[in-house]
Amino acid sequence: MTTGTPDLDQLRRLLFGKEYDELLALKAQFASSEKYTASVARIIAEAINLRAGQDSALSVALAPMVEQSVTQSIQRQPQRFAEVLYPVMGPAIRKSIQQALNEALANLNYLLESSFSPQAWRWRFDAWRSGQSYAQVALLRTLVYQVEQAFLIHRETGLLLRHVLAENAISKAPDIVSGMLTAIQDFIKDSFAINGEDTLDTLRLGELTVLVEYGPHAISALVVRGTVPGELSGLLSSTSETIHRQYAHQFQAFNGDAAIFAGAETLLSDCLKAQRQHRQPRSPWLAYALLTTIVAAFGWWAYQHYQQQAGQLAQEAASKQQQHATLHDLQAQLRQQQTDSTAIQTSLQNLLEQQRQQAASTAEAAASNSRTIQQLTRQIETATYPFELAKAEIDLNHPVLQQISQDINALQQAARRNQQSLQVMLTGNTDDSGTETLNARLAKDRASNMRDALVRSGVPAALLVAYDANQPGLPATAHKSERGVSYRVTLY
């Protein structure tokens, strides 16, 4: 409030009187950050106490900031926090250990009692039939209800904002679940004549029940296994209201970033309730009996172990005496082995010499065989049988035919010694005196007749392949202008 001109200021004083000065002082207090901070500091403690007494909204709002501050402080100075908590850690740890031992003893006794009961055998059969472990089946059979998952889904886009999971629950795809809830709601609205404000609040599938709470900006959902108690719906509604109240500004400014709702996981985690069947406490006599049996078995084992150790000591003493006697025998055997080793070394040297001579002989034989193969190949490829003009007949007693047959058989034996296979290609040829058609038929007949003659002379048929000179794909050396048959030897 500005003072303005003197006349205006005087008019204000006449209208408001002394309250005008108080308004000026109050304005100055709000305009000065230091004065306003000092004024708030005088009443902040009383304001916090008054708000905390009304409901738990202040605690819920401060919990994420307090947790973050404590986490950062511990990360910076872990030793300091350890020193502060040391006086209370010892009693707390001892109490926790005692409680854990009592619970373990009670659970062991319950397990022993139920292991041979008809109910336990029925659970084992269910575990075998369903492919689950016995512990999982027993846990489900003793469960009244358990909230396994909690979802926070943006109502307009169907985007999963937050998801929390119980410790022993299994979640495969929370994003798919959030999309499924949105799709089912849209399907119901499109398929049935319902009021536009009506929403899906319960979805049941086997042992699972999905409770859904629709808020102005977000959908809250709980996945419950077992019998759903009535108070869960109220808890889900209050949680949804708290989230909408604390994150009203975030919902208004939401642009697709779900990280701004990280603090909502604390509120959702409070919904992960569970209740199991209460069993009457019994004296753990079975556990005591088992422990007594274990102690007795351990004592018997210790006694047997002591007897075994005493027997082993006696055996070791006798074994040492026997070892001394055996040592003398081994020394004599060692001297004999040294003598035998000298003889063996001499024999080995003789054997190596024989192997060297055998290798040299083998190499010489291989070289001789290679020369034989080259010579026979050259004789076969240079052989020429004299055909008469325009004739394809072959004399089986002709010396050239007999020589070629002998050379091919000899080459096959040499190739076998060299671990190779043989093939001889026969190509018929003619001179230029006849027509092209006559020459082609004559060349083919000469090659075929020569192959048949060689087979009759004792050459295996599998070694021979007959072609005429005009056969496509033949090498150029096979095309000769002469009356005869050319030979091409192939080793592989």
Domain ranges of the chain: 6-93, 142-276, 285-367, 383-491
More confidently predicted of 26 and 474: 26
Point out the least confidently predicted range of 55-64, 407-416, 431-440, 441-450.
55-64
Alpha carbon distances (Å) from 474 to 274, 307, 426, 470, 487: 90, 93, 11, 8, 12
pLDDT of 196 over the 70 cut: no
Q: Which overall architecture, per CATH, does domain 142-276 show?
A: 2-Layer Sandwich (3.30)
Percentage of the residues of the chain whose pLDDT score is greater than 70: 76
pLDDT value, residue 424 = 93
Mean pLDDT of 200-228: 85
- 150 φ, ψ (degrees, to nearest 5): -135, 135
pLDDT of 1 over the 50 cut: no
User: Distance between CA 453 and CA 385 in Å, rounded?
Assistant: 12
Of the candidates 192, 232, 197, 231, the residue with the CA atom closest to the CA atom of residue 211: 232
Percentage of the residues of the chain whose pLDDT score is greater than 90: 10
pLDDT of 134 over the 70 cut: no
Count of beta carbons in the 10 Å neighbourhood of residue 442: 22
User: Model confidence at 464, in pLDDT bands (50, 70, 90)?
Assistant: very high
User: Distance between CA 392 and CA 445 in Å, rounded?
Assistant: 6
User: Model confidence at 202, in pLDDT bands (50, 70, 90)?
Assistant: confident
- 439 φ, ψ (degrees, to nearest 5): -65, -40
Q: Which overall architecture, per CATH, does domain 383-491 show?
A: 2-Layer Sandwich (3.30)
pLDDT value, residue 41 = 73
pLDDT value, residue 98 = 73
User: Distance between CA 218 and CA 240 in Å, rounded?
Assistant: 8
Point out the least confidently predicted range of 30-34, 330-334, 356-360, 428-432.
30-34
pLDDT of 477 over the 80 cut: no
Average per-residue pLDDT for the chain: 79
Cα 142 to the chain's mean position, in Å?
A: 34
Point out the least confidently predicted range of 17-26, 41-50, 99-108.
99-108
Count of beta carbons in the 10 Å neighbourhood of residue 388: 8
pLDDT of 425 over the 70 cut: yes
HSE-up (13 A, CA, CB side) for residue 219: 26
Count of beta carbons in the 10 Å neighbourhood of residue 201: 13
pLDDT value, residue 465 = 92
pLDDT value, residue 386 = 87
User: Is residue 147 a contact partner of residue 222, using CB atoms and an 8 Å limit?
Assistant: yes
Name residue 272's amino acid.
L
Token pair 């208004």 is found at 252
Mean pLDDT of 94-105: 69
- 389 φ, ψ (degrees, to nearest 5): -65, 125
pLDDT of 480 over the 90 cut: no
Mean pLDDT of 235-260: 88
Return the top range by mean pLDDT from 96-100, 101-105, 129-133, 220-224.
Answer: 220-224
Q: Please state whether beta strands 160-165 and 422-429 pair in parallel, antiparallel, or not at all (unpaired).
A: unpaired
- Cβ contacts of residue 194 below 8 Å, gap of 6+? 188
pLDDT of 168 over the 50 cut: yes
User: Distance between CA 66 and CA 52 in Å, rounded?
Assistant: 16
Name residue 414's amino acid.
A
pLDDT value, residue 29 = 67
User: Model confidence at 407, in pLDDT bands (50, 70, 90)?
Assistant: very high
User: Distance between CA 407 and CA 401 in Å, rounded?
Assistant: 10
User: Model confidence at 107, in pLDDT bands (50, 70, 90)?
Assistant: low
User: Is residue 370 a contact partner of residue 418, using CB atoms and an 8 Å limit?
Assistant: yes
Mean pLDDT of 282-304: 79
CA-CA-CA-CA dihedral for 222, 228, 231, 234, to nearest 10: 40
pLDDT value, residue 482 = 75
Mean pLDDT of 368-385: 89
User: Distance between CA 273 and CA 233 in Å, rounded?
Assistant: 12
pLDDT value, residue 34 = 74
Hey, is 339 helix, strand or coil? helix
Burial state string for 244-261 with b = 16 or more CB within 10 A and e = fewer than 16:
eebbeebbeebeeeeeeb
Check if 142-276 and 383-491 are the same fold: no
Mean pLDDT of 166-189: 74
pLDDT value, residue 121 = 67
More confidently predicted of 111 and 199: 199
User: Distance between CA 67 and CA 470 in Å, rounded?
Assistant: 97
Q: What share of the chain is helix, strand, coil (3-state, %, to 5)?
A: 65, 15, 25
Burial of 467: CB neighbours in 10 Å, binned 0-12, 13-18, 19+: buried
- Cβ contacts of residue 245 below 8 Å, gap of 6+? 57
Name residue 227's amino acid.
T
Q: Which two tokens stand for residue 41?
A: 């500091």
Q: Which two tokens stand for residue 7?
A: 């006349």
Mean pLDDT of 369-379: 90
Point out the least confidently predicted range of 105-109, 302-306, 387-391.
105-109
User: Model confidence at 410, in pLDDT bands (50, 70, 90)?
Assistant: very high
pLDDT value, residue 86 = 64
pLDDT of 282 over the 60 cut: no
pLDDT value, residue 452 = 93
pLDDT of 132 over the 50 cut: yes
Count of beta carbons in the 10 Å neighbourhood of residue 191: 8
Point out the least confidently predicted range of 43-52, 141-150, 184-193.
184-193
